Structure 1
Amino acid sequence: MAYDRKCLEAASAQLNKFRPEKDSPEQFLEAASATLQSLSPPRRACVLEVLAGCLEHRRLLEVVVDAFYARDGRLCRGADRGLFQVVCYLATFQLEELGFPLFCEVVASQPLDKMLKFLRFFFNPLNLCSWIKDEWSLVYDGSHVKESWIDPLMRWQPEVQKLIRQLQEALASQHLPQKTKAKVTEPRGFNLTLPKPRALPMPEPVPSLAKPRPVPGSTYQVPEEQQRLEMIKRFNRWKAEELLLRANVEELRCAMPRARAGSPGQGSQAKPRLRAPPRIRRTPKLTFYRPDHVPVKLNTAAILREGALYQREVEKELQRVDKLVDGAGDFSEFLEWQKKMQARDREEQLVADECRRLQGKLSHEEAALARHSLVQENKQKADRKKEETAELMQQRAEQRLQEERAAKELVGQVAETQKNVKAAQARLLKGRRQAAQELTDERRELLQRSAQAAAEERRRRGEAVCLLRALETRPTRKGKAVDLTQVAGHGLEGEMSVVELRERLALLGEARRRQQEETRDRIVRGRRARGRELRATLEQIALCRAAAGRAAALRWEEKKGRSAQPSQDERVLALRRRVEERAAERRRQGTLLQGSPPRASRPRPRAQLEAQHWLELEQSGERRLRALQPRSPAREAA
């Protein structure tokens, strides 16, 4: 890539215009590309590439440039900040790609005293390995900074120090007094007036697009009905938790045993022994809001659909009454039989639910037994595992000795192979330099070709512009005036002037507006009538819903009374006996395990907690059944 004096001056000038608090890198690069249209395409690409790299690594470059101005560059101008940032970027990130000869040319094209000060400050090994490395490590990872930037800069130290000495010698030779020569007469050419170049035509303005409509705010907001439903749901949950807590407190009060009566020998001085109530696990406090009564809003289709449903039910009921009046049969016997069958099905369902619950409890007891047996097996496996571990540790010690011997042999081999590394590195470096030089030559040829193609394109565009201007300068005929009140006279039927045509169009528009107003009034009247019909349908729906709710409440009370009766099925009794047997066996094994010697690890009381939990659940269920069971007269007398 062609890095010359103009490219560096353009890049540093654009970089001085960048303000990080106001400009974004993408917009700044677009603006810079627009302002650099006067440069050739290769130079413009070169400048844009350097600007993009400097903006990407701006924080690293500012660390070095700010420190240079604070220490060695106090006498340098502030306008040269961009130039120092560009040179620091090329030395840090592009030195491997450019090659050292091209970098020397870039440095020689700038003022020598400034470049000498900056290179001496930046390539100082003490600065690179101390504070520059620390400051860069605050921005990027320390290992990445050392491997990617600090180590390559330290490798280039011999060549850079040689370049610094050359700059010192060149600067010293410039300051030496030069011999004055005799002034020689120089011929001057004629000062002829040059023709003024033709200006290019102004580009057409870019049409501005219509401003899009903003997104409505309701798109990202939850509907009000949904918010109210959520509030109602939270309030109902809070009420359910409160009722459940009250029921648990009442059960615990009933479960507390009464104080035992004192023995005859002790008299009234014996104090009753009270057992502490079981622990209650309360849920965290939740905040709920009591919403107002908010009915669900129905649309027109839902209202008409539900109204038609209730209307069909009313018609069916009227038809049934008419049939009964005419002498049709009654379905009371069938309904009684249906209720009996449903009651029997419900009893079977309750028995099946109780059987499933007892089967779950039975499986829990069997799992506890299996867990106890698994503990015994694990103890035996642990003993065997300890023996195997001891054998493996001995084998591992022998294997480690063999690995140490092999490692010593490998170290000797590696030491022998490292002797020829320097020669291989020298050959590799020479090959890379040759490849970099060939790549630089190819790039120069490509840039020359692209410059020739751009010149040919500019010449072709200039010819096209001249042709267009010649076409624009041709004289044009002006059209004659038109009389809008005059008829054209083509002999057509119904021919009229433009003025008469406009009047007729105005009359037609007025008639169309009157027709639209009549249609709008008719639509409004239809909407009002439909609204009255919908309100009447809503009132009918509310009445039907209230009646259906009362019927459902009666059915629920009846079902609740039926489900309160306990079941005495043989399968349930058999399952209860099996559960009691398994529980007794589990408690017996638990006592055996407790009598065994303690283990080294911490005990795990999970099985005891689960057993206590299931026992409390069973007692709670029995108390609920006793509370819901209807009292007989003999029991009340007792």
Structure 2
Amino acid sequence: MAQNHRELITACVEVLNSFKNLPDDDHTFITEVFSGCVRYHSVISVVTEAFYNRDGKNVLRSEENLYRVFVYLAIFRLDELGMPHFRKFVRAVDLNKMHKFLNFFFNDKSIRTWMKDSWVKIYDTSFVQTTLLSSLLGWLPELEDLLQQMQKEITNKLKLKKETVSSTEVKPFNLTRPRPRSVPMPMPRRLICFSLNIKIPKLKPFKPTPKTTYEKPEEENIMAAIREKNRRRAEEHLMEASRQRFACANPEKSEKTQRRMRDILVEEEQKLDFERHKSHPFPKALLEYLFLCLVAHQDENIPIKLNATSILREGKLYRQREQEELKKLERLEAGAKDASDFFEWQRKMRKQDLEAQFADVERRRLEGKLSHEEAIIARQNLIQENQEKARSMREEAAGLMQAYMERKMQEEIETRELVEKVLDTHENAKEAKKKLQVYKAKIVQAVTEESRELMKQALEEAEAEMQQKMLLIRQIRAAQAVPKTKFKTVDLAENAGYGFLGEMSIVELKERLSLLRMNSEAEEENKRDDILNTKQEKEQLLMETLETINRHRTEQSKAAAIRLEERKKGHNAKAVVDDPKLIDLQRKLEEKRQERKAQQTRLKIQPNKKTSQKLKQINAAKHMMEESRWRELEQRQEKIARLTSTNNPGRRGVPTS
């Protein structure tokens, strides 16, 4: 019991902390909306739950109370509010969200069919017809106009029109009128300053700003002309230097260099293959046919262009093979045995491994099918269990809903009592306001006295600051009046004088650069001779390597033809794997398949009359909704056509066949 008392005290404190004193009209409106939403919770839930199940699957659940408030206002308070106030409430929220919800709610067909049927289950037919439907259906044409206007605003087809707002009526404040004060005699400014001991700083009279400050100075035009003259002179020097340039500084490349660069670019571009298509694997039969054609035409010398890298790589490969053959012959000559027996044994073992691999693949395939059948059976069992769980959960949910409604009614009674207690505390707040006004008046009197002292101190500080600024201005003007040296002579034969180790003059730098250029030309000639020698040696090596490659290729083609003939003679069909484990798996697979088929026939869902009738009703309602939607679209198009024809009376329509 002590815990419950503590929770009640905490709840009361939280309500008082979060309480805001609102005007009486707003407070009454909020209270009535809150009590109405709680009282007609079942009526409002019919609309909101249907919205979340159909059109609002992507809408946040945290916004459900917002939609509940609008449902309550539209059904019970629209006659009292009127259309202008309701439109303002709608525009105060996000336009897209409200259009989506109100388009679902203000549907004539939905209101007359499933909403009415759901409300009749809760209240009497007379109450539903008079209280819920009559007001809503009466306002439905104006609500549909509101929806069309919102749709046009969303699609940027209609600009918002400012509503004519009535002018505010000025009312005087109901304040206590102060007593008339005696008007004091005015005092001269000099007497006021004398009485307060204030010294007013005196500044020199300033000169008016000259007109030349706002005009463009003549020096800028002179500087622009000088810059244009220097630019033309620099262009003339550049043209003269390009005509009389030195031969050693020729930036253009020779014809031989340009030709080699073009060849290199062509070779690099030929290597690129961005538009190559992905091909399918080459057929084995066609591959064997091409190999036979290659063997038949092996005597013909078909020229194949090879680059230096491929020639050297292939030559190295053949040299390694020759060395391996020589080593093998040396071992046989020394008494080593031949490996033909080992190769025969290896071939048999590979054949056995291949058969075992085929059996393993078949076993995995059968096991996969078997596991698939078992999964189907398990899924059917799971569906049956889920149906049982769903039935029990529906029964449990019905009981919880009943308890929830009872708890809601109890909470409504408690909130009403709490609101009545809070209203009693408003009377004590008026006395506290009067005490607060007296306290504030005392504070204002003290602040005015302090402000006088601060004003006097501020005037003294302003005078001292003005004196400092005037002194600083005089110093800046004196510094600006001192002339500055702007020109410096340059001697190309002297050092800069910074004291660096490698410091030199411009003349010495030019001499050193000319010496370096001569040394680089001599090194270039030596490198050119070395390149020619290495090129000749490389060509000789390539010719020798090509002869070796041709010799080995002819021998390999002959050996390949012999192996192909032997393979054709010894080709046999694949051995059929006969494994008892596979036969056992096949038998189990057939048993599981028969079991699954039997369970499917046993678990076939029998058609229920109620569900079939409900499905027919849903399909009929859906068909009617589609027809009404198409009818609305046609009416809207006809209305648009009429409007366009009235707006453009001189334009003739195009006849349609």
Shared topology, TM-score over 0.5?
no
TM-score bin (small chain): 0.3 to 0.5
- Structure of higher RCO (CA pairs closer than 8 Å, 6+ residues apart): 2
TM (normalized to structure 2)? Answer: 0.34
